[in-house]
Structure formats: structure tokens, C-alpha cells
């Protein structure tokens, strides 16, 4: 008889409930959140290969799902918000009840927000990019903290930026920062450690992105798309086959416009901002380059900028970039400007103004 298992995962211990095809509970209990504990749960329930095991999204969801796959199970990772929204007794929450709700929902196919479990290569790329973002943020915090220390004393930077070790050395050697030199030295030391960590992660990122080298090279044929943006885009989507069209990609990245349509009322608001915020931010940064006349999306940007303003134009260009990158990935073709319905101008026209210099008038005596 077919079994269904609902698993409420926690850091130390996980609670499970198993049901048969008719919804009768055939097993329940708690096991340690380890590979041995999950194996003991499968043996205790008597689940056959291919048994569906439902669990919520969380920090350990990916690891637990991969462990269940190795044990022959079929994990189903569900969005935690949908689990709570479809709970029958919202005010009576417990680990056992959550496990039962997940198990019963998987058995009856109630859940729609099934989360994609990436492969180990995609997961490694995501982890490296995540750690790199963390240290980039920490590096920026040290620069901003040093600027705060200087401005609080009415001082300014002796150099334009603090993005190199030489700039920090020049700052500490300046005679005007004597009163706060010790504090600046602390920030400089932290900045140096973080900078070395970023360099290590850049090398690791090159290794993690090696399986996707062809795809990333193809995506970088679009103007303003660099290796970090291409790697983040590939890591967020995982595979192009799981999206039916580019509109789903735009919604997945949170770049779709929110809509309220009921009766005779229809309103459109801001973008939803769902999904991978890092990819959305990188695409918006790349869309800034569309303001340059040499960018292939400049005609599209200029038309929207004149009508709606700069912010709306940047979001629209970011949406179009997401669609173009998806089509390039799915079709296996490099960027082709001829498909944008724009005509590149080979000759740049210029106009020169000549001013006539008239001699001064003679003074009347």
C-alpha cells in the first residue's frame, strides 16, 4: 500500500506523520535531523522507493531533500507560507499537527507552491555567490564606517575612495586624522581581512561556475552583463527547462508589475519584488547602462524615460534583459541586435556652431 509522509524539520529533531492512501495514520514520531535519523524514519514507516515526503522550506530543506533522495524517497518541498495559509487550525499549532497537515496536503495534492530543489552544482554556485555578497556588504560597511568617523570630526577623505589598500594607507598617514587614527586602523584591518576573503571567493567562484561556462559566456554577449550577473542569473534559475516562457522568469525574479483587477477596476502598481533580490538588483544595475547611446536597448530606454521617468525605464529595461537572457539560454544563441527591431547607426552626426566675432565699435569723442 502506498505511503505518504509529512516531515516538520527542525535543527535538532524532526517530527513525522505517515498516512496510507485512505488518510489513516500508519506511523508517527520524532527522529534526529541526521541522515541516520531519516533512514530510521523510512524503515520505521516501511516506505517503498518513490514515496512522497513533504516538508516546508527552511534552512535545512535542501539538505534534507537531497538526503531523502539518496534514501530512495521523493521529496516535495513546499513553500512555508502556503502551508500556514492552508492549515485547518491556525490557532492550534504544534510540530505534530504541522507534520500531519503537510502529509495530508501531499496525499491530496493540495499544495501548488512546490519549491525547486537545485542540483549540487547549482547549489554550490548559490553558496559561493551568497558568501561573496556577504563579504562585499561587510567591506562596504567598513568604508562607510570610516567615512562616518571622519565626518563626525569635520574631516574629509584624502583620496576619492577607500577601495584599495593603498588608499587606506594614505588615509592613516594623513596628519589630520591623528585623533581618530586608532579607530580608522581598526576599520582598515577588518577591511583587509574581508578583501582577502573576497579574493578567495572569486577564485572559488571561477571553479564553481566552470560547469556553466558555456551558458555564462553566451549571456555575457548582451551589453552590460558581466560574469557576476551571469553567474547569479544562472544560479537563480538553475535550469531554463523549468520555465515555460519568459513571463514566468520575470515573475520568478520579482520584476513583474503588481495587478489589482476586480469588477470594473484595474490598477497596476509597483513590481512584486518576489524571488531572488540579488539577481533583481544586478539586472537593475545593468539596466543603468541602457542610458548610453551605444547600448542596444537605448531606444527602448529613451522612449520610456521620456514618458514615465528614469526609474520606470530602468525597471522596464531590467525586465526586458531578463527575457532576452532567458531566450538566449533556452535557444542556445548569442545576443543578436537585429532581433530587437532597432537599427544601429554607423555614422554619428554632429553639429558645430560658429560664432562671428565682430570688431569693437569706435568710441565717439
Domain stops at, among 78, 107, 136? 107
Examine the domain organization and report whether 102 and 127 are in the same domain. Answer: no
> What are the E-state strand segments in 82-175?
none
In a domain, 327, yes or no: yes
Examine the domain organization and report whether 237 and 335 are in the same domain. Answer: yes
In a domain, 354, yes or no: no
Instruction: Output b/e per residue, 137-159; b: 16+ Cβ within 10 A.
Output: ebbeebbebbeebbeeeebebee
48 φ, ψ to 5°? -85, 170
Q: What's the CATH code of the domain at 60?
A: 3.30.420.40
pLDDT of residue 364: 53
Range of the structural domain that residue 193 is part of: 120-208
Examine the domain organization and report whether 336 and 266 are in the same domain. Answer: yes
Examine the domain organization and report whether 16 and 64 are in the same domain. Answer: yes
Examine the domain organization and report whether 77 and 100 are in the same domain. Answer: yes
User: Maximum distance among all alpha carbons in the chain?
Assistant: 120
Examine the domain organization and report whether 195 and 274 are in the same domain. Answer: no
For residue 234, which of 130, 125, 328, 114 has the smallest C-alpha distance?
A: 125
Residues 310, 329: Cα–Cα separation, whole Å: 28
Examine the domain organization and report whether 74 and 136 are in the same domain. Answer: no
**Which residues lie below 8 Å from residue 333, measured CB to CB, with a gap of 6+?**
218
**Domains of the chain: total:** 3
Terminal C-alpha separation, the chain? 120
pLDDT of residue 1: 74
Distance of CA 277 to the CA centre of its chain: 4
Domain stops at, among 107, 133, 149? 107
In a domain, 182, yes or no: yes
In a domain, 114, yes or no: no
pLDDT of residue 353: 47
Examine the domain organization and report whether 274 and 188 are in the same domain. Answer: no
Residues, the chain: 365
Q: Average pLDDT per run of 10 along the chain, which is 365 residues long?
A: 93 95 94 96 93 95 95 96 87 90 95 93 96 97 94 84 92 89 96 97 97 97 96 96 95 92 84 92 96 91 94 96 97 91 66 52 53
Domain stops at, among 167, 184, 208? 208
In a domain, 112, yes or no: no
Examine the domain organization and report whether 194 and 252 are in the same domain. Answer: no
In a domain, 172, yes or no: yes
Examine the domain organization and report whether 133 and 21 are in the same domain. Answer: no
pLDDT of residue 274: 87
Examine the domain organization and report whether 99 and 181 are in the same domain. Answer: no
pLDDT of residue 136: 96
Examine the domain organization and report whether 57 and 99 are in the same domain. Answer: yes
Amino acid at each position: 500500500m502506498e505511503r505518504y509522509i509529512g516531515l516538520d524539520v527542525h535543527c535538532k529533531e524532526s517530527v513525522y506523520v505517515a498516512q496510507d492512501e485512505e488518510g489513516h495514520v500508519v506511523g508517527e514520531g520524532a527522529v534526529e535531523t541526521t541522515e541516520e535519523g531519516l533512514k530510521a524514519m523510512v524503515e520505521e514507516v516501511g516506505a517503498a522507493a518513490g514515496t512522497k515526503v513533504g516538508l516546508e522550506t527552511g534552512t535545512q530543506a535542501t539538505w534534507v531533500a537531497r538526503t531523502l533522495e539518496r534514501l530512495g524517497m521523493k521529496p516535495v518541498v513546499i513553500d512555508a507560507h502556503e502551508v500556514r495559509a492552508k492549515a485547518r487550525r491556525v490557532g492550534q499549532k504544534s510540530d505534530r499537527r504541522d507534520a500531519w497537515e503537510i502529509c495530508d496536503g501531499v496525499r491530496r495534492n493540495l499544495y501548488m507552491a512546490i519549491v525547486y530543489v537545485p542540483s549540487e552544482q547549482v547549489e554550490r554556485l548559490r553558496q559561493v555567490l551568497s558568501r561573496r555578497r556577504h563579504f562585499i556588504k561587510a567591506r562596504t560597511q567598513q568604508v562607510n564606517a570610516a567615512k562616518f568617523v571622519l565626518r563626525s570630526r569635520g574631516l574629509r577623505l584624502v583620496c576619492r575612495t577607500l577601495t584599495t589598500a593603498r588608499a587606506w594607507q594614505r588615509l592613516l598617514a594623513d596628519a589630520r586624522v591623528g585623533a581618530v587614527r586608532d579607530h580608522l586602523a581598526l576599520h582598515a584591518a577588518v577591511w583587509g581581512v574581508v578583501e582577502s576573503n573576497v579574493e578567495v571567493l572569486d577564485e572559488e567562484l571561477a571553479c564553481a561556475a566552470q560547469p556553466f561556462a558555456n551558458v555564462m559566456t553566451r549571456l555575457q554577449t548582451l551589453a552590460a552583463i558581466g560574469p557576476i550577473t551571469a553567474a547569479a542569473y544562472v544560479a537563480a534559475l538553475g535550469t531554463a527547462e523549468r520555465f515555460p516562457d519568459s513571463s514566468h522568469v520575470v515573475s520568478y525574479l520579482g520584476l513583474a508589475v503588481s495587478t489589482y483587477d476586480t469588477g470594473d477596476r484595474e490598477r497596476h502598481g509597483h513590481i512584486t519584488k518576489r524571488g531572488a533580490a540579488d539577481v533583481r538588483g544586478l539586472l537593475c544595475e545593468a539596466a543603468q547602462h541602457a542610458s548610453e547611446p551605444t547600448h542596444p536597448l537605448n531606444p527602448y530606454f529613451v522612449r520610456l524615460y521620456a514618458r514615465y521617468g528614469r526609474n520606470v525605464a530602468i525597471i522596464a529595461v531590467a525586465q526586458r534583459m531578463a527575457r532576452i537572457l532567458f531566450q538566449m539560454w533556452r535557444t542556445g544563441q548569442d545576443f543578436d541586435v537585429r532581433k530587437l527591431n532597432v537599427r544601429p547607426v554607423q555614422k554619428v552626426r554632429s553639429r558645430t556652431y560658429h560664432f562671428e566675432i565682430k570688431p569693437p565699435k569706435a568710441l565717439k569723442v
